[in-house]
Structures are given as C-alpha cells and as structure tokens.
Structure 1
C-alpha cells in the first residue's frame, strides 16, 4: 500500500512538474520568473537583515525581528543541508529528457527547495511583525515556489517540503527568541 501511494505521489509530482514547466517559453514571463526566483537566493534576506540592523536596531522590535530571522535561517540551513545530503534527489533536468533548466541551480540536489524554505520562513517572520505585509509576503513566497518549478530546477514536492521546512524554521526561531 505504501509503495503504491509513493508511486502515485511520484506520478502526480512528475505530471504537475511537466504542466508547470511547459508553461515557459514566453520571454516576459520567463524573465519575471527568473527575477522572482533570484529574490530567494539570499541577497534579499541579507538586505533585509542589514536594513533591520541599521534602521531598527534602536527598537526592541527590530532586534526581535533580526534575532528571530537569524535563528530561523540557521535552523533552516542546518536541516536543509542534512536532508539534501541524505535524500540526494536529482533535479528535474538531470532526470528527465527534454528538460533544461532556465536558471542555474545553486547546488546539485533538489529536495527540499531551499529557496522556498527561505521565502516561507521570511514571510512568516516579517508577516508576524508587519501584519500589513502578510498578503504581499504570501504571494511573493508562492511565486518563489512556482518559479522554481517553472524554471526546471525543482519538482512540486521539493517546493512542498520547502514550505514545511520554512514553517518549522520560523516556529523554532520564534520559540527560541520569545
């Protein structure tokens, strides 16, 4: 039964990947997805951290945001690294014929999506402290996840695992800092 469930999940993962990946080829959307994906590379997170340190460091809230995010990222990176090295799932372009990535991947393996984990963790932390940004942050995080599949570097289940990792990392960040 479990074997059959895993086969069905794998089939669903492949079919959904192909549906999303086959949407590419429209120049404007390809560029848009490329830049959305780049926001999950880590540079944006460093800019946010720097902004918080410079402009909010005098406020207790700024220190809490920075501390929560920093702890969350350390947790995310630690768990992410262990899972990547244990699972060693090839990226779609490595496993499927006629699939070429539209953005160079940051590392060899695809599971889980570190971009998605970082985006979700960031959206949760910033959304907690800045509720007026919640909808924008959720839309942004969803676009980051979609872009990773669209660009051919992740399967949908990699992105789902990234969501779960981002949630866990944020929760641990809040638990440790509050």
Structure 2
C-alpha cells in the first residue's frame, strides 16, 4: 500500500512539476514561494499588532505560540522521516530553487502558510478564504519549483493547521 501511495504521489508530482514550463509559471511560482519564506507573516502580524486595536495583539501573541509549536515539530519530523526531495530522487528533475535543507517531508513552507492562514481564519474570519487560497498556492509553488511531493504539502498543511488549533487553545490556558 505504501508503494502504491508513493507511486501516485510521484505521478501527481510529475504532472504538477511539468506545468512549470507554462508561460509565467516560473515567475509566479518563485514569487508565491517567497511569500511563504516567513518574513511576510512577521510583517503582517506586526502590522495587526500595531494597527488593529481589537484583536491585533492577541492574534500576534497566539501566532507566536503557534509557530513555537509548529517549527520544532516540523524540524523533528524532517529529521525522523528523512524523505529525499523529488529533485534528489527522480531522474530528469532539476529544482528551480536551491532547497534550504536536505529532506522534504513535511513541507515547512506549507506548514507555516497553513498555520498562519488558520490563525487568520480564527481571528479574522472574513480573511479566511483568501488566506487559505494563498496558503494552498504557497504549497503548490513548492511542487512546481521541484522541491516537494504533493504529500509533503498535505502533511505540512495538517501540521500547520493542527499547530494553529493547539496554539490558539493553549493561548487561552496560559
């Protein structure tokens, strides 16, 4: 069963990865991936902290707690699972970017994007749809750039969403 899942994951990866050659896809993928590098989350959180008097401070603090859960779990899972990146494992695949580390599972970009999107959804429901679409695009961009399998993105989304739920609930306990 695991081999079948790996085969399906690889086939889906190759279908998505091959879309990178479409016009403007390279620029779009790089731009959206950079959006998920982390600085945008910090800047957006700080803007809300300073300018949004109702929930901005609480959102910022709960998000910090969320990321203090997500990042160590992401790093631990990467080192425990040690899944090779598709660009290091598959013939004929050249990544469009240099990966930050050796292993692919789970996707840290997807985990962070979904953690942030989930927190935005909890505090600002009107931004929920946009935030989740952007998080999904960040994950998709990582496959298009050749550095993650689709299941890496799915695992990152689950990790990020779960970390947000835990961080949000712990914020009110602590």
Q: Give ranges in structure 1 of 5+ residues lacking alignment.
A: none
Aligned to 1:144: 138
Report the alpha carbon displacement of residue 54 of structure 1 after superposing the two structures with TM: 2.5
1:102 aligns with 2:104: no
Report the alpha carbon displacement of residue 168 of structure 1 after superposing the two structures with TM: 1.1
Q: Which runs of 4+ in 1 moved over 6 A?
A: none
Aligned to 1:51: 47
1:10 aligns with 2:1: no
- 1:21-170 pair list within 5 angstroms: 21-56=17-52, 59=53, 61-170=55-164
Whole-angstrom distance in 1 between the partners of 2:166 and 2:126: 23
Provide the secondary structure at the position in 1 that maps to 2:55.
helix
Provide the secondary structure at the position in 1 that maps to 2:97.
coil
Whole-angstrom distance in 2 between the partners of 1:83 and 1:128: 26
If the length of structure 1 is used for normalisation, what is the TM-score? 0.92
| 1:92-112, Cα deviation, whole Å (9 max, x unpaired) | 111111101112212111010
Whole-angstrom distance in 1 between the partners of 2:59 and 2:42: 13
Whole-angstrom distance in 1 between the partners of 2:68 and 2:91: 36
For structure 1, which segment, 162-171 or 101-110, has the greater mean C-alpha deviation from structure 2 after superposition? 101-110
Provide the secondary structure at the position in 2 that maps to 1:24.
helix
Q: Give ranges in structure 2 of 5+ residues lacking alignment.
A: none
Whole-angstrom distance in 2 between the partners of 1:103 and 1:31: 12
If the length of structure 2 is used for normalisation, what is the TM-score? 0.94
Whole-angstrom distance in 1 between the partners of 2:45 and 2:101: 24
